[in-house]
Amino acid sequence: MIKRILGNSGLEVSALGLGCMGMSYAYGITPERNEMIKLIRNAVEQGITFFDTAEVYGPFINEELLGEALAPFKGEVVIATKFGFAPSKNDSSKWTDLDSRPEHIRAVCEASLKSLQVDAIDLFYQHRVDVNVPIEDVAGTVKDLIKEGKVKYFGMSEAGANTIRKAHAVQRVTALQSEYSLWTRDPEKDILPTLEELGIGFVPFSPLGRGFLTGKMNENTNFKSTDLRNTLPRFTPEALKSNQSFIDVLEKMAVTKNATTPQIALAWLLAQKPWIVPIPGTTKLSRLTENNGAVSITLSPQDLQEIEKSASQIHIIGERYPEANMKMTGR
């Protein structure tokens, strides 16, 4: 597996990481735990060294899964986890409240160290910006944790450019994690130029559009009642039907490259910047292997221009999240 460095931080990881959320949370039926442990360990065998989780995935269950699966590979892999969510004051079963108070960050850090079975958290992201806590206090708390040897690198997720700058002035931000793919281009306007200027790496989550860019969905696709996508505007039957034009663009290029649709979607992301490291998630070994094949695909400037020309003519139907969730992004 080809390696990449996240910005100017010196943190080297595999060019593709593995998003592990769906192994415990969000997409309907939870896969069998032992099978996911096998999948994670197979990812290591295939050269993946970068794994993404969060306290809220489960909650706790996903971190514990990675802690067990990656215990034999301590020192060989990079595990990223996140703080910033807390149980809702109205319903403790729902982790929808934001909490980035320094004391909460410290409590999450201690819990994550235990769940992950590590002595230090490799990359500790603020999951969403908490407007009730100055970002300088958040960055300062993580800075202290780094000094104490409990955290190695600081990251942010779905933060706006100005907030990133403020945080970076206190403690170097190693990576920003936000949604980015051929059908989610929002970071290109302000975020990517800011990251390039400051030497911050970019970790796109949902690089395959939560499964849409695999080409396996249409307006007749049914999701389990507990599947997160039931709540997302882009996954209504009308939106799925209208947005199929993106699949046509990817399939056309896939034919010329003797590749698959998701491989082209990932290769397109990898071609945008050398400090971009997508983290596609999967619960299937065949998909893991397929995704990893994207690193071997080279898209020429002409290929990229062709994709850009076709994609620019498509009008996307549906927001990424419901309005309440969108208010937590880009702050």
Task: Judge whether 96 and 59 are in contact, CB under 8 Å.
Answer: no
Task: Judge whether 176 and 201 are in contact, CB under 8 Å.
Answer: yes
- Quote the distance between the C-alpha of residue 38 and its chain's center: 21
The verdict on whether 180 is a catalytic residue reads: no
Q: How far is CA 295 from each of CA 78, 175, 316, rounded to the nearest angstrom?
A: 19, 20, 27
- How many Å apart are CA 277 and CA 298, to the nearest integer? 16
Task: Judge whether 72 and 43 are in contact, CB under 8 Å.
Answer: no
Given the residues 25, 27, 57, 180, the one annotated as active site: 57
Task: Judge whether 178 and 205 are in contact, CB under 8 Å.
Answer: yes
- How many Å apart are CA 110 and CA 107, to the nearest integer? 5
- Quote the distance between the C-alpha of residue 253 and its chain's center: 25
Catalytic residue positions? 57
